[in-house]
Amino acid sequence: MNGHVRHWWKEAVFYQVWPRSFQDTNGDGIGDIPGVIARLDHVAALGVDAIWLSPHYDSPNVDNGYDVRDYRKVGAEFGTMADFDALLAAVKARGMRLIVDMVVNHSSDEHAWFVESRASTESERRDWYVWHPGRDGGAAPPNDWRSFFGGSAWARDDATGEWYMHLFHEKQPDLNWDSAPARAAIFEAMRFWLDKGVDGFRLDVIAFVSKDPAFPDYPPEHRDAPEYYHADGPRLFEHLCDMRREVYRGGDEVALGEAFGVPLPRAARLVAEGSGPLDMLIHFDAVRIDRAGMWRWKPVPLPTFKRVFTDMERLLGRTAWRAVSLSNHDNPRLVSHFGDDGPRRRVRSACLLATLTLTLKGTPIVYQGDEIGMTNYPFATIEDYDDVEGKGAWSDWVETGKVGAGEFLDNLWRTSRDHARTAMQWDDGPKAGFTTGTPWFHVHPDHDTVNAAAARADDASVYHAYRRLIALRKACPALVYGDFRDHLPDDPRLFVYERRIGAEACLVALNMSGEDASFAAPEGFAGAALVLVDGVSPRESEPLGRSVDLEPWESRIWHLAGS
C-alpha cells in the first residue's frame, strides 16, 4: 500500500504497560501480572491492537527490572509463570497481541552467567561479559567511558583484579555479543518467550550491543554525547542480523528496537524494508529534543521539534518504518512535557497530543496513563525520587559541587523518568485504586480528578479522544501508510501537516501554544470534511474553508476522500 509492504505491526496501535505501577492485586504495593489482567478491558476498549509489557523478569530491581537475574523466570513480585500464561491467553482472547521487553545488552550481576564469569579468569563463561585488565597495571579503568547512570563505565572486580564494563549501573554488567556462546544463550532465552506465543520484543538499548574491542577513549566529538559513540559499534548490524535469523526464524513477530544514539541515516539501514534486522525503532530525536545532556533541560522552539518528523521522512526514506513514541517509562508525562498540564488546558492539550501521536507516520505507542492525561508529580527534594539515573547524576554533579542543588532539581523535575512511574490512577480513592496496601512509589495528589473512572464516564475526556482517534486511524489508510508533509515548518505556534495516499488525505492542524492562531488552508484540500475537533466528532461535518482559526491547544482533523 503506497509502496509499503503491509504488516500487522505497522497498522497496530501499541499500549505500554509498566507493570510495577499499573495495578496491584495482593496488597503488597507493587503492581503485578494479575493486575494487568484485571485492567485489560480498560486497555482493549481503547481499540489498541497490542500490549508492550515492560520487564516482568526475576530481578534485584536496582534498575526497576532492567537488571535481569533470570530471563526465564517471572519476578516474584509480579506473580508466577502461570500468571504470565494467563495474561497471554487473556490478551489474545480480546483480539490483541503481546510483546515483551528483552534486556540483552546487559544482565544483573546476580545472573548465573555473570556469577560464573567473575569467578575466575579461566571460567568457561569469562568472555560472556566485557572484561579488561585495565591501565596502569590494573589500577585504572581501561578508558574514559562513562556510565549513563554516573561515574565510570568500568568497575574493578576484587576477585580477579580485572575490570568489567557496565554502561549503566555497576550491577548491570554488559554482555559480550562478540562471544558466540553468549550470543547463543541470549538467543535461546529469547526463543523461550516466542515459543510461548508472544508476538515479539521491544529490545532495550539494543544499539549498544557491539563494543569496539580496542577500547579507545572517546573521540572529542562524542565526549558530551557518548550514546552516539556506543550506538556505532563495529559489529552492530552483523549481530542484529544474526539475532533476526536465529531468534525470529522468518516469522512475523515484531522486532522493536530502542535506538538511543542511532542517527537517522544509520537507522535507515537497520529498518530497511526487506533487509534490515529490525522492524521499527523507538527514536529519541523528538522525545529528548529538549535535553542538554542526561538531566539538563533546554527550551526548544516548535519549528525545531517539527523538523524531526520531516527529517525522519527524508533521512529514513519513505518505506523504512518507525515508532511514534513521545512518552514512555523513561520520560516525563506527555501532557506535562509537550502540553499545558494546568487545570484549564490539561484536557485540551492532552487531546492535541493524542491527535499528534495517532496521526504521525509510524506505529503509535500509548504509555499507561497518557490516555487519561496523567501529569508530572510534584517532586521537591532528591529524596522524593527513586530512579538510579537521577540519583547517580546528583552524585556526579551536586555532591561534587559542579552545580547547586536548586539548579539541578529544577532541571531534573523537567526531565526525570520518575514522573512516568507513579501509580496508575484508576479512581479517586485514597490510593487511586492502585493498591490496598502501601504503594511502592508516590500516588499523584491530582488523582481525585485525574483518574480512569472519571475519564471513561466523560464522553469529552482524553480517554475517549484516544478511542476515537484510534478508530479513525484504523478506518483511514492514509493515517497509516500515507506520506507526511509539514505545511507550516517555520510557524512558531502551529503544526499543520498532511498524510496522503494519492487522492485520499487527512489534514491535521494543531495549535501547540497558549495563543489564538490562524492559517490559510493548503491547496488541494477543497471540500475536505472536518472529522474530529479535540478528539470529538463535530456536530456538523463542515468543509474546510480558506482560512482556519484555532484556539489555544485546539486540534482538528479533516478528511479528503479519494476519487
- The pLDDT tens digits for 176-216 are 999 999 999 999 999 999 999 999 999 999 999 999 999 99
> Is the per-residue pLDDT at 151 higher than 70?
yes
**Model confidence at 563, in pLDDT bands (50, 70, 90)?**
low
Backbone φ and ψ of 479, nearest 5°: -80, -10
> Is the per-residue pLDDT at 145 higher than 70?
yes
| Among the listed residues 136, 130, 178, 182, the one whose alpha carbon sits nearest the alpha carbon of residue 154 | 130
Strands 291-292 and 254-258: unpaired
Q: What is the mean pLDDT of residues 296-314?
A: 96
Strands 363-367 and 483-486: unpaired
Cell of 161: 583484579
Indicate the SS3 state at residue 433: coil
Give me the torsion for CA of 208, 209, 215, 220, rounded to 10°. -20
pLDDT tens per residue across span 407-422: 999 999 999 999 999 9
Cell of 84: 504470565
> Is the per-residue pLDDT at 521 higher than 70?
yes
pLDDT tens per residue across span 314-325: 988 888 999 999
Residues paired with residue 282 on neighbouring β-strands, in sequence order: 258
pLDDT tens per residue across span 489-519: 999 999 999 999 999 999 999 999 999 999 9
What's the mean pLDDT when you consider all of the chain? 96
Q: What is the mean pLDDT of residues 74-102?
A: 98
Strands 280-282 and 547-550: unpaired
**Model confidence at 103, in pLDDT bands (50, 70, 90)?**
very high
The residues that are catalytic are 204, 258
Given a contact cutoff of 8 angstroms between Cβ atoms, the answer to whether 335 and 371 are in contact is: no
d(CA 444, CA 369): 12
- How distant is the alpha carbon of residue 62 from its chain centre? 20
Strands 494-501 and 50-53: unpaired
pLDDT tens per residue across span 427-436: 999 999 999 9
Eight-class DSSP state of 394: H
pTM comes to 0.97
Q: Which of 6-15, 169-178, 372-381, 384-393 has the lowest mean pLDDT?
A: 384-393
Q: What's the pLDDT at 562?
A: 76
Residues paired with residue 501 on neighbouring β-strands, in sequence order: 504
| Percent of the chain at pLDDT exceeding 90 | 93
Residues paired with residue 517 on neighbouring β-strands, in sequence order: 550
Cell of 213: 574491542
d(CA 417, CA 399): 21
Indicate the SS3 state at residue 281: strand
Eight-class DSSP state of 412: H
> Is the per-residue pLDDT at 542 higher than 90?
no
pLDDT tens per residue across span 209-258: 999 999 999 999 999 899 999 999 999 999 999 999 999 999 999 999 99
Indicate the SS3 state at residue 440: coil
| Among the listed residues 324, 344, 347, the one whose alpha carbon sits nearest the alpha carbon of residue 335 | 347
Given a contact cutoff of 8 angstroms between Cβ atoms, the answer to whether 62 and 147 are in contact is: no
> Is the per-residue pLDDT at 37 higher than 70?
yes
Query: For the chain, how long is the longest CA-to-CA vector?
Result: 78
Cell of 34: 494479575
**Model confidence at 115, in pLDDT bands (50, 70, 90)?**
very high
> Is the per-residue pLDDT at 48 higher than 80?
yes
Q: What is the mean pLDDT of residues 93-100?
A: 98
| Helix, strand, coil share (%) of the chain residues, nearest 5 | 35, 20, 50
